[in-house]
Amino acid sequence: MFDLKRYLLERASWINERLADFVPSIYAKPFLLSEAIHYSLFAGGKRLRPILCVASAEAAGGDGEAALPVACALEMIHTYSLVHDDLPCMDDDDYRRGKLTSHKVYGENMAILVGDALLTHAFTVLSSYGAEDPAARLQIIREISRAAGPSGMVAGQTQDVLSEGRAVDPETLEYIHVHKTGDMFAAAIRSGAMTAGAPDRMLDALTEYAEAFGMAFQITDDILDMAGDSGKMGKTAGGDNKLGKGTYPSLFGLERSREMARDFIRKGLRALEALPEERTEPLRAIIEYLAGRET
């Protein structure tokens, strides 16, 4: 039987090793910047996006290790987004990944710079090592920059900020989730497949999986925020409610939200049927794990 725990631990250790190569602990001065970058990057994130990128490369018939530079760049962008999201002018969070947030330890100015550094460094890594084939490298840079930028994650975050304290309708909530969270998951899964030179038909199936994954992830994140255990999550539960944010459970109730998450998980599993079964075990197990996740 497929051992998901072992797979996640092994892939996370590949990713952590390469991340440490790409982000050395001591850059040229000022040392404080390297220290603050390391503090957030190695704070114990689940490495879901980079793991999905590697698993998708494998599902497309490629070599997972060859996708590691892209996987690491995705984690840098994700960590930047968390550091900026936690700032007092955004979600104003004190804890992330079980530790004090970056601005709580290093100050707001440093936390902004940590995010700036991680976002830009990700593109140094992508443009230097993203894929052997220059056309694939460019395709991956376009994919990830679009997902992180003003029609992707930043658009979702902007709508989220503008919706604070207001009643959101289901379409606005979906827009926020699709862009703030879903686009980076889709980029992780699609860019992993691109490192393996996946044909369009395969990319389409993986995109369908990715979109379902993003929604299932975000709905379970909302459920955890309402009903989860802060200790296990490493951040404070109830934060969305405190900020007056619309969430799936606040709009649809906990039970209906759980059903919706399960529907998206089933949809993601169906999309994978277009790929060879023996190569999709990790992607299937990862989406199934969302139904019971506690962190």
Interface with ligand GRG by CB under 6 A: which residues?
45-46, 48, 78, 81-82, 84-85, 97, 153-154, 157, 180-181, 218, 221
Q: How far is the CB of 265 from ligand GRG (least distance, A)?
A: 16
Residue 5 or 29 having the CB closest to ligand GRG:
5
Helix (H, G, I), strand (E, B) or coil at 100: strand
Comparing every residue's Cβ against ligand GRG, the nearest one is 45
Of the pair 198, 240, the CB lying nearest ligand GRG is at: 240
- Quote the CA–CA distance of 93 and 289 in Å, as a whole number: 27
Least distance between ligand GRG and beta carbon 26 (Å): 24
Distance CA 44, CA 62 (A): 27
Angle formed at CA 178 by CA 66 and CA 219, multiple of 5 degrees? 100
**Which is nearest to 78 in space by CA: 146, 148, 149?**
148
Q: How near is the Cβ of 134 to ligand GRG at its closest, in Å?
A: 29
CB of 241 to ligand GRG, least distance (A): 13
Query: Contact 258/223 with Cβ under 8 angstroms?
Result: yes
d(CA 121, CA 91): 24
Residue 179 or 284 having the CB closest to ligand GRG: 179
Task: Give 128 or 241: the residue with its C-beta nearer to ligand GRG.
Answer: 241
